[in-house]
Amino acid sequence: ARGRLVIIGGGFGGASAARFARSAYPHIAVTLIEPQTSFVTCPYGNLLLEGRRTLTDITHSYDGLKRRGVKVIHDWADSIDPAGKKVKLRGGATIAYDKLIVSPGIAIRWGALSGYDRGAEEIFPHAWVPEKGEQVKLLRRQLAALPDGGVVGFAIPANPFRCPPGPYERISLIANYLKKHKPRAKILALDSKDAFSKQGLFQDAWSELYPGLIEWVPGSKDGKVVRVDVKEKIFETEFGTRHRIDVGNVIPPQSAARIAVDSGLVNETGWVPVNPYTFEAVATKDIHVIGDANIGGPLPKSGFIANSTSKQAVAAAIALLEGRELPKDPVYFNTCYSHVGDDYGISVVGVFRPSEKGFVETPNSGGVSPRGPLAEKREQRKLEARYADSWYASITRDAFS
């Protein structure tokens, strides 16, 4: 029997799922619903800010998936009818499915940070969703216009959010740009948290590569931004300190994307609880939610995880559809590389498995790059920067080619 697998969202999770489904289950009809006609990745967007990559470098077309026989429909999924097993598109059409994979990414919770309402991103860009790269380009223009001696402010949210090391990679690469082009400028990174991913490694790099350039303020030391004022260009913190910012990157509080919220898939956290073996949404049968939209914790919200879990979700969905046994002993891998300077890469690796209680990190697996002075670790950092580039090339091939 030819089953119908429909996928909402052609980002890291959805595109990977579509490609994997076509190669592993050629008898299944695969339809991908994605409004954008090409996909700009968030990963490597920070390298665009620094000037090392262009928008073209990080833009991927859907032609590869089309050539593989994926039916790509460029439209928004407007609503899901789980009883009738149908997706309604904004353009009016209705698409029937046997199994649905949902990987729509995140939504920004407008207004959750006071003053950061829709429109505020034109002044303080977030550059945290792919959307044609407009936000990344805006932030890049703002950095180019920053006076030497100006202040680049970051407002960083509490967990969970898309890409735990992302803000710190961005801080590093903007510092690299400033060091070369505006050496008197400063970065003020205001964080809601007291700890972050690869913290020791990032902070070692900051003091070695960019001494005095970056001030990182943890939540307990008044780092939590509670209000932004786009007119006065102010970040205001929990204890009432008002910081004047020249260029501001607000990484706002997030939830699962709107289609997941509107379809009743999320719980009170704003994210979608799923069965860790199949990724089927707890709320609804036959709908498997992958990528940043689900509650994968301790799995990070990363492109790597979206890709790695997409395969298990597809395999499980097809096994359930065809009445076969579920794939055995799945393992979900993550590696997040960060570039922190020229020829300077670091990484964190995690290995996870499903259990009756949820996702569990496998004991004594994974870890972060070794710490140590640059003089001793130069070769390691250089290699990891290369691995990062290879990772980007291979994951985008595994999703879009």
Which positions lie near ligand FAD, rule CB under 6 A? 8-14, 33-36, 39, 42-43, 45-46, 76-77, 103-105, 128, 130, 162-163, 166, 170, 257, 259, 291-293, 301-304, 306, 336-337
Provide the 8-state DSSP code for 141: H
CB nearer ligand FAD, residue 99 or residue 234: 99
CB nearer ligand FAD, residue 20 or residue 128: 128
Minimum distance, C-beta of residue 165 to ligand FAD, in the bound complex (Å): 8
Bridge partners, 59 (sequence order): 40
CB nearer ligand FAD, residue 43 or residue 248: 43
> Looking at beta carbons, which residue is closest to ligand FAD?
11
Minimum distance, C-beta of residue 176 to ligand FAD, in the bound complex (Å): 15
Minimum distance, C-beta of residue 147 to ligand FAD, in the bound complex (Å): 25
Q: Could you identify the residue written with the tokens 């914790």? A: 297
Cβ of 322: how many Cβ atoms within 10 Å?
Answer: 13
In our burial notation (b when 16+ CB lie closer than 10 A, e otherwise), range 80-100 reads bebeebebbbeeeeebebbbb
DSSP string, 91-132: TS-EEE-SEEEE---EEE-TTTSBT--TTGGGTS----S-GG
CB nearer ligand FAD, residue 46 or residue 237: 46
CB nearer ligand FAD, residue 91 or residue 149: 91
CB nearer ligand FAD, residue 237 or residue 249: 249
Angle, vertex CA 397, rays to CA 40 and CA 77, nearest 5: 50
Angle, vertex CA 370, rays to CA 369 and CA 373, nearest 5: 120
Minimum distance, C-beta of residue 119 to ligand FAD, in the bound complex (Å): 20
Minimum distance, C-beta of residue 171 to ligand FAD, in the bound complex (Å): 11
CB nearer ligand FAD, residue 39 or residue 279: 39
In our burial notation (b when 16+ CB lie closer than 10 A, e otherwise), range 282-291 reads ebbeebbbbb
Among 49, 47, 43, 252, residue whose Cα is nearest residue 143? 49
Write the CB contacts of 36 (distance below 8 Å, at least 6 apart in sequence).
10, 74, 130, 131, 132
CB nearer ligand FAD, residue 234 or residue 314: 314
d(CA 309, CA 295): 13
